[in-house]
Amino acid sequence: MSPREASPPLIRTRVADAADPPVAARMAEVRGVVQGVGFRPFVWRLAARYGLAGWVRNRDGVVEILAEGPEASLEAFGWALVQEAPSLATVEEVRWAPRPTGFLAGFVVEQSLEATEPGSSGLPLVTPAPPTCSARLRELLHPPDRRYRYPFINCTECGPRFTIIEALPYDRVRTSMRAFPMCADCAREYEDPTDRRFHAEPVACPMCGPHLTLRDSPGWGPHPGDPIVEAAEMLRQGAIVAVKGLGGFHLACDATNEAAVARLRHRKTRPDKPFAVMVASPAWAGEFFDPSPDELRALSSWRAPIVLMPDRGLLASSVAPGHKRQGAMLPSTPLHHLLVREADRPLVMTSGNRSDEPICVTDDDAPALWNRRCLPRPRPGDRRSLRRLGGHGAGRHLPRGSKGSKLRPGRTASP
Ligand SMILES: [Zn+2]
Ligand SMILES: [Zn+2]
């Protein structure tokens, strides 16, 4: 149920009289998809708007709020909590209970309570990794930005969630990002309630966060040069590159190169099942495909789905032999955005496995399976996997389009 369809929180308002205390206090327990979606910063901003004191914190799978202020402000706050919830959130229930006023000063984001294993509460946890949002994409491609071309850029509205969580509640100390202490600039953004990175748990930058490595045979040692530039050049030359994303390895090749796509089919033992093709933008989609306006809109949805559309005959025939429509998708992570743009052509992007085998998630598996060039994207937070190939793998993962997960995305935002 979307926040706009949800029942409004029950707040009983009574007529004030002179004997009433000047303020009231209430505790709210918010259930739904409310962690990892920027909910606490949102609550903080609402509290500031209505001049309320109190705190907000994650507890297990729910968000708890103590708010104190004039009755009318509390009521407006309660409505806005549901009506204006962040686009990735799904508020399913808000339970209110009166509390004695504590003459609190200010509104703070408190330490979370009760670290537990993900899923132990049976509650919806957090959203899967939302694709790079448009604001972060602008930073990624904007040379003066301090995160220009930084493949681990994220904010409260996009970036990894489930793949980095080791326990709930969702806080940096319980994610693999705790291995990367924030630099002063990132810490300032993380602590600034007006910033889109306020309590964005995986916040990082080139100064303090993880980095990419490109590994290549023989020996799988680090390849010199900029990993994105070098990998893109390999792709243009017809290589198959294994890209470690949030859900394990994907295999990429030039979707316009018939020999490369045919070799990928052979290696995957996948003779004719269509491959999906990644394009950098809707404009690219219009160049290589002939999409309807609806198909273009679907392509740009925040879920970054694979959309079937007729192609213009510019792709290798092995991409989808015998099919009139082919699967197109936009990049879902900053790394994919950078790679497809640098390669300057659409890329086949398929799971890193042989047909009917599980996706390859560890650095150890990839070379053995494919014996081809390998661009490990470490699990953010796992510096060791950068240093020695064969360290920890991606662990828990949620590949694009995975079905049957307990995790639920929030409502669909407008493209
Ligand atoms: Zn974002
Ligand atoms: Zn930093």
Provide CB contacts within 8 A for 315, sequence distance 6+.
255, 256, 277, 288, 326, 346
User: Taking the C-alpha atoms of 369, 370, 372 and 374 in order, what is their torsion angle to the nearest 10 degrees?
Assistant: -60
In the reported structure, the alpha carbon of residue 223 is separated from the centroid of ligand 1 by a whole-number distance in angstroms of 30
Categorize the per-residue pLDDT at 362 as very low, low, confident or very high, splitting at 50, 70 and 90: low
Token pair belonging to 124 = 């919806």
CA distance 125 to 33: 6
* Residue 60 reports pLDDT greater than 90: no
Ligand nearest to the CA of 205: 2
291 Cα to the center of ligand 2, angstroms: 40
Q: Are 243 and 335 in contact (CB under 8 A)?
A: yes
Ligand nearest to the CA of 160: 1
Residues of the chain with CATH 3.90.870.10: 215-387
Strands 107-109 and 53-59: parallel
- Please name which ligand lies nearest the alpha carbon of 413: 1
Closest CA to 398 of 36, 109, 156: 36
Ligand 2 centroid – CA 186 distance (Å): 4
User: Ligand 2 mean position to 391 CA, how many Å?
Assistant: 24
- What is the percentage of the chain residues whose pLDDT exceeds 90? 38
Residue with the bigger pLDDT between 104 and 215: it is: 215
pLDDT by residue (tens digit) across 74-129?
999 999 999 999 888 888 889 998 888 776 678 888 766 654 444 444 434 455 67
Q: What residue ranges of the chain are covered by domains with CATH 3.30.70.100?
A: 24-109
Name the percent of the chain in helix, strand, coil, to the closest 5.
Answer: 25, 20, 55
Ligand whose nearest atom lies closest to the CA of 139: 1
Residue 156 CA to ligand 2 center (angstroms) comes to: 15
Q: Which residues pair with 165 in a beta bridge?
A: 175
DSSP SS3 for 168: strand
Q: Which residues pair with 348 in a beta bridge?
A: 253, 277
CATH 3.90.870.10, domain 215-387, yes or no: yes
Distance 196 CA to ligand 1 centre (A): 8
> Which pLDDT value is given to residue 59?
82
- In the structure, ligand 1 is a single-atom ion and the residues with CB under 5 Å from it are 133, 136, 155, 157-158
The alpha carbon of 232 and the centre of ligand 2 are apart by a number of angstroms equal to 26
The number of the ligand nearest the C-alpha atom of 302 reads: 1
Cα 36 to averaged position of ligand 2 atoms, centre (Å): 20
- Confidence at residue 365, expressed as pLDDT on a 0 to 100 scale: 61
Which tens digits make up the pLDDT trace of 288-330?
A: 999 999 899 888 887 778 899 998 999 999 999 888 888 999 9
Whole-angstrom distance, CA of residue 141 vs CA of residue 218: 33
Average of per-residue pLDDT values in the chain:
77
Angle at 136 between CA 132 and CA 142, to 5 degrees: 130
Distance 319 CA to ligand 2 centre (A): 40
Task: Kindly report whether the global pTM for this prediction surpasses the value 0.75.
Answer: no
Is 109 in contact with 58 (CB distance < 8 Å)?
Answer: no
The answer to whether residue 62 scores a pLDDT higher than 50 is yes
In CATH, what number does 24-109 get? 3.30.70.100
Q: Is the pLDDT of residue 400 over 90?
A: no
Ligand 2 being an ion, which residues bring their Cβ within 5 A of it? Answer: 183, 186, 205, 207-208
pLDDT for position 218: 64
Ligand 1 center–CA 208 separation, angstroms: 18
**Pairing outcome for strands 221-222 and 241-245:** unpaired
Ligand nearest to the CA of 154: 1
DSSP state of 70: -
**Ramachandran area for residue 103 (φ above 0: left; ψ -120 to 50: alpha; else beta):** left
CA of 30 to the centre of ligand 2 (A): 31
Specify the DSSP class assigned to residue 158.
B
**How far are the Cα atoms of 153, 228, 341 from residue 232, in angstroms, in the given order?**
20, 6, 9
Compute, in angstroms, the gap from residue 139 CA to the centroid of ligand 2.
14
pLDDT at 113: 61
Strands 107-109 and 215-216: unpaired
How close is the Cα of 146 to the center of ligand 2, in Å?
Answer: 9
